[in-house]
Amino acid sequence: MRILPLLAVCAGLAVSSVQAGPRPMPAESKDAFIARLMAQMTLDEKIGQLRLISIGPDMTHEQINKEIAAGRIGGTFNSVTRGENRPMQDAAVKHSRLGIPMFFAYDVVHGHRTVFPISLAQASSWDMQAIALAARTSAIEASADSLDMTFAPMVDISRDPRWGRTSEGFGEDPYLVSEIAKVTVRALQGSSPAAPDSLMASVKHFALYGAVEGGRDYNIVDMSPMRMYQDYLPPYRAAIDAGAGGVMVALNTVNGIPASANTWLMQDLLRKDWGFKGVAVSDHGAIEELTRHGVAKDGREAARLAIKAGIDMSMADTLYLKELPGLVKSGDVPMGDIDNAVREVLGAKYDMGLFDDPYRRIGAAKDDPPDVNAESRLHRAAARDVARRSQVLLENRDGTLPLKKGGTIALVGPLADSRVDMMGSWSAAGVPEQSVTLLEGLRDALGDRGKVVYARGANVTDDQAIVDYLNFLNWDKPEVEQDPRPAGDMIAEAVEAARRADVVVAAVGESRGMSHESSSRTSLFIPGSQRELLKALKTTGKPLVIVLMNGRPLDLNWERANADALLETWYAGTEAGHAIADVLFGDYNPSGKLPISFPRSVGQIPTYYNHLRLGRPFTPGKPGNYTSQYFEEKTDPLYPFGYGLSYTSFSVSGITLSAPSMPRGGRIQASVTVKNTGPRDGETVVQLYIRDVAASVVRPVKELKGFRKVALKAGESRVIRFDVDEAMLKFFNAKLEYAAEPGDFDVQIGLDSEAVKSARFELL
């Protein structure tokens, strides 16, 4: 902390020679400081603090600065350089009456200038150090760009891959997503959200956004309280318990009431039960949408409902600004509601260190970097490492992979050389020109030891309506570029390349916009243009390696049956091409595991491993037996949760329990011996699941409760011990009390959610 001149200390709210704007006095508590500041504020100044604007075409910089100086804006998002943000901070601290600083937010979701793999990919690493590295690096880059807050982590549980935002989250499992939520919040916020190289985390989208009906974005959410508490709420809670300073409120309804007007959700659950003390921001335009939801007849009522529910800041609309003054005057909104919201906004600014120094992340103009896009070798190396760890090897017949460095590789597919798609959606301030495509990655890895022949082979889709749709998403410029050649000519060129090669590598999947906000699908196939390409390549008889680039589980039945190797790379970020090449050539032995089940078909959705037990569960081998199944296809997923191969193989021994029973409040140990039985060093993820044998409510078939990423040399074995304690056996009962019930439990340990060993113990 800086030593303040005596004059400023005494003046308190006065402008000092060193720093304009209010600041805490020595030994003054946060609450006392904010109360003192609020006592100086007019109603209009208070309401101004509740407005969060998007920097964009709607207002000129001059207009924005005027509004800020008039005390009518509390924070912004979508401006990402010190040069952009400094004049706004000047307007706030030097030209507004009280000099209250602004904060600057942005969607730093999976990287900032250096783009890391999308969140779903990071979750596939099951590597908490790698995930922390991605978040910490993002915070360092974004704070150096003058940003104070990020709208992340996005921890919406997703069990429906039709939903385009599946790519933005960490998958289907409450435990895994909660662990990642904690790690991410801690890494973003660092030692404290006040640190100059930290960002405040605003966890989103509170709540249940991932459960939109039919996977259609912005659709309603209707869910039983037990499922909500058990499966969907834990990750938000984990982020908050880890100290997230902010919460972004979801766009959807929660059991008939939009989250943005939901007093139960925002007050009773979030603030009273969970003790959240930070700032709650609406999602984009969500307060205005209350009229379209039909819970408010006009903007005035929408503003009243939102402030009453506890939405502290309104994002990207002017309803609070327009309506709250009148609502307070008429007595329809108590002044206390406004004060509560203002207290949270100022509290967040305090926590971000902005009252100590509003320029702590903006710095002085003389220190501005000459090139904001300058690349950091260290950060790129981190992105490459995280990207290698995030890939999941789904198939590898006859040791097709790793490829030899030599001979001729035919690289085909519309995603093989597409920089923009490597970035995934919400790639923040990343610059596509800086990303490495697979074509470049293969060439860099081979040097002069082999040859890559490239042919595009197909467009991502031939459906112009889809291309138009994707190009109208919120990108700056159209990004799906169609090759105008006839599809047949492109395929012929690719087949010709394949015939001349030793192996075919096909980079196929979805363009990044297909797995994005507002990009819900009814089919999970790789688009037809690419499927035709794959079929034609198959006829050449050359080994076919399919490299998938996509942001959701896909229907891969054909690919599974026809590919010699299948590698899920998601959208791997700035260093995508290098990282994928590392895996294809075996310079990195893949260790990723799926954080979400891959269904066999759209009709099978929802397909998630931790479903509740049934009275008539499907019993394999007994056709037509009135058990729960679809008669047209198998009941299990195509690839289960937790699944992923390696270039080596692992075995897991039976489970040894340290005791046959566990006293209340006690713990036992479950151990297995994991052995690397193959020819290479490698890593795998040992997963621990619990099954409650009988309880007062129906419990899931199994639930992940622990995991360990383990590196083993070829031939090496190691005993892996898990502590199992009572907390891991707890669940929400019919009264929504969180407790463990005595009785038998099965501990299951294995390398995916299906291939497990099991042992039973009793909770006394």
Residues marked active site are found at 283
Distance (Å, whole) CA 117 – CA 434 = 14
- From residue 216, alpha-carbon distances to 151, 158, 314, 315 in Å are 22, 12, 24, 23
Residues in region 483-522 near ligand BGC by CB under 6 A: 517
Distance (Å, whole) CA 33 – CA 13 = 10
Which pairs with CB-CB distance under 8 Å and at least 24 residues apart come from 10-16? Answer: 12/36, 13/37, 13/40, 13/98, 15/99
- From residue 691, alpha-carbon distances to 233, 507, 546, 698 in Å are 20, 39, 36, 11
Q: Which of 67, 84, 90, 107 binds ligand BGC (CB under 6 A)?
A: 107
Residues 6+ apart with CB under 8 A from 574: 111, 114, 115, 116, 380, 383, 422, 423, 430, 434, 435, 436
- From residue 46, alpha-carbon distances to 93, 328, 746 in Å are 15, 12, 55
Confirm or reject binding of residue 151 to ligand BGC (CB under 6 A): yes
Q: Report, in Å, the least distance between residue 27 CB and ligand BGC.
A: 37
Q: Which is nearer to ligand BGC, 472 or 630 (CB)?
A: 472
Q: Which of 136, 204, 361, 705 binds ligand BGC (CB under 6 A)?
A: 204
184: tokens are 């991410």
Q: What's the one-letter identity of residue 289?
A: E
Q: Which is nearer to ligand BGC, 151 or 650 (CB)?
A: 151
For helices 576-584 and 377-389, what crossing angle results, to 10°? 50
568: tokens are 């899920």
Distance (Å, whole) CA 537 – CA 494 = 8
Q: CB–CB of 142/112 below 8 Å?
A: yes
Q: Which is nearer to ligand BGC, 424 or 637 (CB)?
A: 424
Handedness of CA 50, 55, 59, 60 (dihedral sign): positive
Q: Which of 179, 283, 301, 683 binds ligand BGC (CB under 6 A)?
A: 283
Q: Report, in Å, the least distance between residue 216 CB and ligand BGC.
A: 15
| DSSP assignment string, 181-232 | HHHHHHHHHTT-TTSTT--EEEEEEETTGGG-GGG-TT--B---HHHIIIII
Q: Report, in Å, the least distance between residue 555 CB and ligand BGC.
A: 26
Q: Which helix (H) or strand (E) holds 253?
A: strand 253-254
Q: Which is nearer to ligand BGC, 345 or 526 (CB)?
A: 345
Q: Report, in Å, the least distance between residue 165 CB and ligand BGC.
A: 8
Q: Report, in Å, the least distance between residue 605 CB and ligand BGC.
A: 22
Q: CB–CB of 754/594 below 8 Å?
A: no
> Which of 763, 98, 173, 121 has its CA nearest to residue 385?
121
Q: Report, in Å, the least distance between residue 474 CB and ligand BGC.
A: 8
Confirm or reject binding of residue 156 to ligand BGC (CB under 6 A): no
Q: Report, in Å, the least distance between residue 427 CB and ligand BGC.
A: 13
Distance (Å, whole) CA 321 – CA 68 = 13
Confirm or reject binding of residue 170 to ligand BGC (CB under 6 A): no
Q: Which is nearer to ligand BGC, 284 or 322 (CB)?
A: 284
Q: CB–CB of 112/430 below 8 Å?
A: yes
Per residue, what are the HEC states of 578-634? HHHHHHHCCCCCCCCCCCCCECCCHHHCCCCCCCECCCCCCCCCCCCCCCCCCCCCC
- Letters for 683-722 (x = contact with ligand BGC by CB under 6 A, - = none) are ----------------------------------------
Q: Which is nearer to ligand BGC, 284 or 531 (CB)?
A: 284
Q: Which is nearer to ligand BGC, 23 or 204 (CB)?
A: 204
Q: Which is nearer to ligand BGC, 227 or 284 (CB)?
A: 284
Q: Report, in Å, the least distance between residue 201 CB and ligand BGC.
A: 12
Residues in region 215-254 near ligand BGC by CB under 6 A: 248
Q: Report, in Å, the least distance between residue 556 CB and ligand BGC.
A: 28
Distance (Å, whole) CA 289 – CA 291 = 5
Q: Report, in Å, the least distance between residue 32 CB and ligand BGC.
A: 33
Start-to-end CA span in the chain (Å): 52
Number of residues that bind ligand BGC (CB under 6 A): 7
Handedness of CA 340, 151, 272, 262 (dihedral sign): positive
Q: Which is nearer to ligand BGC, 259 or 583 (CB)?
A: 259
With H, G, I as helix, E, B as strand and everything else as coil, classify residue 566.
Answer: strand
Q: What is the DSSP letter of 270?
A: I
Q: Report, in Å, the least distance between residue 130 CB and ligand BGC.
A: 23
- Letters for 565-604 (x = contact with ligand BGC by CB under 6 A, - = none) are ----------------------------------------
Q: Which is nearer to ligand BGC, 164 or 577 (CB)?
A: 164
Determine if residue 33 is left, alpha or beta; phi over 0 gives left, psi from -120 to 50 gives alpha, anything else beta: alpha
Looking at beta carbons, which residue is closest to ligand BGC? 151
Q: Report, in Å, the least distance between residue 359 CB and ligand BGC.
A: 24
Q: Which is nearer to ligand BGC, 440 or 517 (CB)?
A: 517
Q: Which of 66, 86, 216, 284 binds ligand BGC (CB under 6 A)?
A: 284
Q: Which is nearer to ligand BGC, 251 or 546 (CB)?
A: 251
Distance (Å, whole) CA 132 – CA 180 = 9
What are 258's strand-pairing partners?
253
Q: What residues make contact with ligand BGC under the rule CB under 6 A?
A: 107, 151, 204, 248, 283-284, 517
